[in-house]
Copies of this chain bind each other. A is one copy, B any other.
Amino acid sequence: MREDKLLERFVFFSDAVFAIAITLLIVEIHVPHIARAPTEVHDALQALANNLPNFIGFGVSFAVIGAFWAMHHRVFGLLARHDQSFVWPNLILLMAIAFLPFSTAFMSENTNQVVPHLFYLISLLIAGLLQASLVRRALRPQYLTAGVDPGAVTAIRTRVWALPIVSVIGMIVCLMTRPAYSILVLLTLPIAVRLLIRWSRRR
């Protein structure tokens, strides 16, 4: 196989792991069984309400893993080649991604508790730092497609810091207010990305 086919296969394997991790999130949600009873409507709504933290965890982690994938898509779209030095940093990032269904379920199963929320945020922080490191390694001149806009490269190098920053703010919020509020902090990720890019353009 040619060099571009090898890059394709490398990217393909990563995509498959992202896709599986993102879809496995739903497997961790327990399906409620409602006894047939005059109260079955109430019981079913109650069971769904009890599952609300799981649904929120599913939605947030789906969006976060989706953002990881979109960044990977964006970065590798700028590359013309890769080499063996990418393989392990990429595998270790994928390990952190594959771990997220567990930390998501641990947080969702233990609503509003400090340790599970911190554990989740730390797992996001680690994945975010591994991604930042991979991005820095990949966006070197020797790998880039000829004619790539240097502004696009700078923008990616900047926006990759949004998730680590938001995770750390989430941890502070988790420890200083209620743990559940830290999830709200994660929802500000798109805003953080925009602020970072605006700040980087000013410099």
Using a CB–CB cutoff of 8 Å, the interface residues on chain A facing chain B are 1, 4-13, 15-29, 31-34, 36, 40-41, 44-45, 48, 58-59, 62-63, 66, 69-70, 73-74, 76-77, 79-80, 84, 87-88, 91, 94-95, 98-99, 101-102, 105-106, 109-110, 113-116, 119, 145
Contact A20 B20 (CB under 8 A): yes
Nearest residue (CB) in B for A40 is B113
Report chain B residues within 8 Å CB of A44.
Answer: 110, 113-116, 119
Q: A7-B1, A34-B113, A73-B6 are in contact. Are A98 and B23 (CB under 8 A)?
A: yes
Residues of B within 8 A of A116 (CB): 34, 44
* Residue numbers in B under 8 Å from A66 (CB-CB): 88, 91, 94-95
8 nearest A-B pairs in the assembled complex, by CB-CB distance: A44-B115, A16-B19, A20-B23, A66-B91, A31-B105, A23-B98, A62-B95, A34-B110
A46: nearest chain-B partner, CB-CB: B115
Name A115's contact: one of B1, B21, B48, B77 (CB within 8 Å): B48
- Least CB distance from A170 to B in Å reads 17
Point out the residue from B16, B74, B76 that lies within 8 Å of A15, measured CB to CB.
B16
B110 touching A33 by the CB < 8 A rule?
Answer: yes
B21 adjacent to A73 (CB under 8 Å): no
What is the CA–CA distance of A20 and B25 in the complex, to the nearest angstrom?
11
Across the interface, A79 reaches (CB within 8 A) one of B1, B11, B73, B77, namely: B1
- Chain B residues whose C-beta falls within 8 Å of the C-beta of A87 in the assembled complex: 70, 73
Q: List 25 A-B contacts (CB under 8 A).
A: A1-B7, A1-B8, A1-B145, A5-B8, A9-B15, A9-B77, A12-B15, A13-B73, A15-B16, A16-B16, A16-B19, A16-B20, A17-B19, A19-B20, A20-B20, A20-B23, A21-B26, A28-B31, A33-B109, A34-B115, A59-B95, A66-B94, A66-B95, A70-B87, A70-B88
